[in-house]
Amino acid sequence: MVTIKSKSEIELMREACKVVALTYKELEEKIKPGMSTWELDQIAEKKMRSLGAIPAEKGYDIGIKGVPPFPASICVSINDEVIHGIPSKKRIIKDGDIVSIDTVALKKGFNGDAARTFIVGKTSKEAERLVNVTKQAFFEGIKYAKAGNRLGDICHAIGEYVHSNGYSVVKEFQGHGIGREMHEDPGIPNYGKAGRGIRLEPGMTLAIEPMVIEGKPNILELDDGWTIITEDGSMAAHYENTILITEKEPEILTML
C-alpha cells in the first residue's frame, strides 16, 4: 500500500532529508585519496547524529538467514561495486576511484534516503561519463514525476536514457517508496513501460535511484551477503534522491 503523507509528515520528511543533504555536503568536502571507507563512515555517522538523526542503515536486517545486519552507517561502493559496500579500515580510496555512497537518516520517525557517486582525484573520461549519465538518468526520470502520470513513466524514462548512452541498468534492485519505513511501496525499477503502474498522487514520497553499469547488467553478491559487484568487472555508479510528488513539479527533498 502506497502511503500519502500529510502536511505534518511531509515537514518531518524534509527534516530527515535535510540531514542526508548536509551529510553529503560534508562527505564531498572531505573525501580524498588515501582515506579508508571506514573514515567516511565515521564522518557520516557523526554528522547525522549531530543533527539529531540516526544512521538508519546501521543494524538494518534484511531477514535472510546467514546474512548479518548491516554493520555500518553508510554503504560505500568503489568502482565495480554497485551497491551495499561495507566500510572497512582496510579499504583505501585511491586517486581515480569512483566512490558510490548510499545514506539513510532517520529523524523523528521518518527516513531520508539519497546516493551519490563521487569522482576522487583525476579519473578517466569513461568513468566521468558514467557518473554523469547516471546522475542525469535520475533527472530524466523525474521529468515525469508529476501527479496524474504513471509510475512506469519514470521507470521508462530512466531506462531509455541509460540504454541510449550504451549502459545497462541493474534489474535486481530498484528504488522504492519511503517514509516511516526505509522501504515502502511502491517498488520503482529503473526500466519499464510508459503508461503502466500506479498513478502518481500529491503527497507520495519516493526514493528514485538509477544504478548503472558500464558493461553487461549481470551482477554478483560477495560472501559478506551485502556487497553487489558487476560480474564482468566493469564500473558502476549510483545516484538517488528522495522526492515529493506535488500538485506541480516534484520537490527534491535530499538536495540543499
Calculate mean pLDDT across residues 32-46. 98
Q: How far apart are CA 138 and CA 136, in angstroms?
A: 5
- Domain boundaries, position 42: 7-252
Task: Quickly count helices (H) and strands (E) in the chain.
Answer: 4, 15
3-state secondary structure of 134: helix
Give residue 161's pLDDT: 98
Cβ distance 36 to 195 under 8 Å? no
Query: How many whole angstroms from its chain centre is CA 194?
Result: 22
Q: For all residues of the chain together, what is the average pLDDT?
A: 98
Query: pLDDT class for 222, splitting at 50, 70, 90?
Result: very high
Name the residue among 249, 243, 224 with its Cα closest to residue 85: 224
**According to the model, what pLDDT value does residue 30 have?**
98
Per the listing, cell 555508479 goes with 237
Amino acid at 249: E
Cell numbers standing for residue 87: 566500510
Structural domain contains residue 1: no
Is 156 part of a structural domain of the chain? yes
Q: How far apart are CA 109 and CA 92, in angstroms?
A: 34
pLDDT per residue over 161-208, tens digit each?
Answer: 999 999 999 999 999 999 999 999 999 999 999 999 999 999 999 999
Q: Is residue 225 part of a domain?
A: yes
User: What number of residues does the chain have?
Assistant: 256
Query: pTM for this one?
Result: 0.97
The percentage of residues in the chain with a pLDDT greater than 90, rounded to a whole number, is 100
Report how far residue 170's alpha carbon sits from residue 188's, in angstroms, rounded to the nearest whole number: 12
Domain for residue 180, yes or no? yes
Structural domain includes residue 159: yes
Average of per-residue pLDDT across 234-256: 98
Question: How many structural domains comprise the chain?
Answer: 1
pLDDT in tens, 101-112: 999 999 999 999
Q: What is the CATH number of the domain that holds 236?
A: 3.90.230.10
CA-only gyration radius of the chain, Å: 17
2 within domain boundaries: no
Closest CA to 44 of 97, 93, 101, 112: 101
Task: Identify the CA nearest to 151 among candidates 238, 254, 218, 243.
Answer: 243
Contact indicator for 41, 88 with CB cutoff of 8 Å: no
In a domain, 104, yes or no: yes
State the cell numbers at 243: 522526492
Task: State which amino acid sits at residue 53.
Answer: A
Label residue 54 left, alpha or beta by phi (over 0 means left) and psi (-120 to 50 means alpha): beta
Measured CA to CA, the distance from residue 2 to residue 98 in angstroms comes to: 34
